[in-house]
Amino acid sequence: MSRSNRSGNANVVQPEKSDLICLSHLRWDFVYQRPQHLMSRCARERRVFFLEEPVFDGEPARQEVGQRDEGVWVATPHLPQGLSDAVVETAQRKLLDDLLLTHQVSNYILWYYTPMAMGYTRHLESPMVIYDCMDELSSFKAAPPALKAREAELFRRANLVFTGGQSLYEAKRNQHPNIHAFPSSIDMAHFAQARDNVTDPADQADIPHPRLGYFGVVDERMDFELLAQLADARPDWHLVIIGPVFKIYPESLPQRANIHYLGSKTYKDLPKYLAGWDVALLPFMLNEYTRFISPTKTPEYLAGGKPVVSTPIRDVVRPYGEQALISIAESAPEFVNAIEKALRLNEDKTEWLQRVDALLAQNSWDRTWTRMKQLIELELALVTRQETAFAVMAPEQQSAFYTPALQPTITQSEVTTQPQVATQPHVIEPE
C-alpha cells in the first residue's frame, strides 16, 4: 500500500474526481511564487483547498474561507493568542474537519509544503500524499524545533516527493525512493512583457538611470552590507528594491540616497518595474539560509531580457552561471565590475538573448505541472492496482499486507500509464 500505512477501508482516490488539499506555510496573498503557480494550474482540473497557518489575532477560533481568482479556495484559521502548540493543533484539526464537511470533501489528494502540518492531518486518510519540498526549512530563522522530526514522518508517509531545486534534490534524494527535482520554472509570456516599451510606474519613473533592481521578499537572506557597499561605491547607480520586508526590522535596512525601497507590488505589475531596470540583482548572502534556494526570480529576470548579477548561489551558478547567461560575483568590487559589464551588454545583447531564450524555452510552469501530474497519475494507477489486489485477499492476508515489515510486491514497472485574506506569513517565507 502507500507509505501512509492507511487502514484497509480507505477509499481510493479517483484522479478525475478527487479534490486536492494543500498544506502550506506560505500565505496565498503574500508573494506569488511556486505554490501559486502550481496550485492555480491544478485548480483548472479539480478543486484545490489551500490551508494556511493560523493568524493569532485574539478572536474566537474561526476559519476564513474564500475563493481566489485562480479558482483556489484559501482557508485561514484565526485563533486566540497564547495557546499551547497542542491546543493550536487540536483547533486546526477541528477547523480542517469542518472545512471538509462543509465543502463535502471526501476524496482527496494531500499536498504538503510544510511538514509541520502533520500535527493536525495525521488522521486524514488518502492514498496519495505529496511533499513538494521548496526549501530546507529547518535551517531558516525561527524554524520550529519539531520540524526535522515532522519532515522525517512526512517522508515515510509520502508517495511522491518533489524538490524546488537541484541542490535540494541532491540533499534529500536518499531519504525517499520516489523523489524528483523540479527547479524554478518560468511564465515566459508574463515576464517577456518587460522587453516591450512599457510606461514606467509612477513611483519608479523619477528614479535616475542606471537602475539596478531586485524584486522578492526582503529578509535575512539578503546581503544588505553588500548593497550598502555597492551604493557607496557608485552613488550614480540607483538600487530599486521591490518586495515586503519580512522577519527583519525595516529600520535595519541600509539607507542611502540611491537606494529606493518601493514596497510590495502585485505579480501582475512586476514586468512593468522590471522593464525600467538596466540590470537585475540577486544579492543573497551565502549561509545556511541560502544553501538550497533556487530563486524563481532568476528565470523571471532573464525572461524580461535583463542582464543579471548574482552572488554564487549553487542553483544559480548551475545552470545560469555555467552557461554564461548571468554574471557571478561575491564581493562589492566584483559586483561593481560585473555590473559594469552587464551595462555594456545592454548595448548589444542579441546573441545573449538568443542563448537565454533557448534555455528558457526548455522550461515553463505549464510543463512542470504537466510532468508532475504524470507522476501523480502513475502513482495513482499503482495504488489502484494495490487496492484491487487487497480487496480480494482473505482477512489474514490483508492483515499481513498492512504489516510495515511486509511490503507489496507490485512495482512501478508493472503499471501501465493510462472571502479575502491579506495577512502576512509568520514562520518562513522562501522567495
Instruction: Report pLDDT for 394.
Output: 66
pLDDT beyond 50 at 67 = yes
- C-alpha distances (whole Å) from 234 to each of 94, 168, 256, 278, 363 are 56, 36, 11, 15, 36
Per-residue pLDDT tens over the stretch 89-114: 999 999 999 999 999 999 999 999 99
Instruction: Report pLDDT for 391.
Output: 66
Strands 279-282 and 259-263, by their bridges, are: unpaired
Instruction: Report pLDDT for 418.
Output: 30
Question: How many Å apart are CA 55 and CA 131, to the nearest integer?
Answer: 23
pLDDT beyond 90 at 322 = yes
CATH number for the region 188-360 comes to 3.40.50.2000
Per-residue pLDDT tens over the stretch 277-320: 999 999 999 998 899 999 999 999 999 999 999 999 999 999 99
Of the chain, the percentage scoring pLDDT greater than 70 comes to 87
Instruction: Report pLDDT for 312.
Output: 97
pLDDT beyond 50 at 428 = no
Instruction: Report pLDDT for 230.
Output: 98
50 closest CA partner among 59, 60, 30, 58: 30
Instruction: Report pLDDT for 415.
Output: 28
Q: Kindly report the CA angle at 380 between 183 and 148, in degrees rounded to 5?
A: 50
Give domain limits for the chain: 19-185+365-414, 188-360
**C-beta of residue 328 within 8 angstroms of C-beta of residue 284:** no
Q: What is the mean pLDDT of the chain?
A: 88
Where residue 401 falls among pLDDT bands split at 50, 70, 90? low
pLDDT beyond 50 at 154 = yes
Start-to-end Cα distance in the chain: 36
Instruction: Report pLDDT for 397.
Output: 65
130 closest CA partner among 110, 150, 114: 110
> Which secondary structure element, helix H or strand E, spans residue 97, and what is its range?
helix 85-102
Q: Print burial letters for 340-370: b (CB count within 10 Å at least 16), e (below 16).
A: eebbebeeeeeebeeebeeebeebbbeebbe
Give the pLDDT mean for 142-166: 93
Least confident of 278-282, 342-346, 366-370, 377-381: 377-381
Least confident of 220-234, 387-401, 416-430: 416-430
Where residue 385 falls among pLDDT bands split at 50, 70, 90? confident
Give the pLDDT mean for 148-164: 96
For residue 156, the tally of other CB atoms under 10 A from its CB is 14
8-state DSSP, 415: -
Where residue 388 falls among pLDDT bands split at 50, 70, 90? confident
Where residue 190 falls among pLDDT bands split at 50, 70, 90? very high
pLDDT beyond 60 at 422 = no
Give the pLDDT mean for 220-232: 97
In Å, the largest CA–CA distance within the chain is 79
- Provide the whole-model pTM: 0.85
- C-alpha distances (whole Å) from 131 to each of 134, 143, 293 are 9, 18, 17
**C-beta of residue 303 within 8 angstroms of C-beta of residue 188:** yes
Per-residue pLDDT tens over the stretch 36-60: 999 999 999 999 999 999 999 977 8
273 closest CA partner among 219, 224, 205, 217: 205
Q: Which fold has domain 19-185+365-414?
A: Rossmann fold (3.40.50)
Tell me whether the CATH fold assigned to 19-185+365-414 matches the one assigned to 188-360: yes
pLDDT beyond 90 at 359 = yes
pLDDT beyond 90 at 419 = no
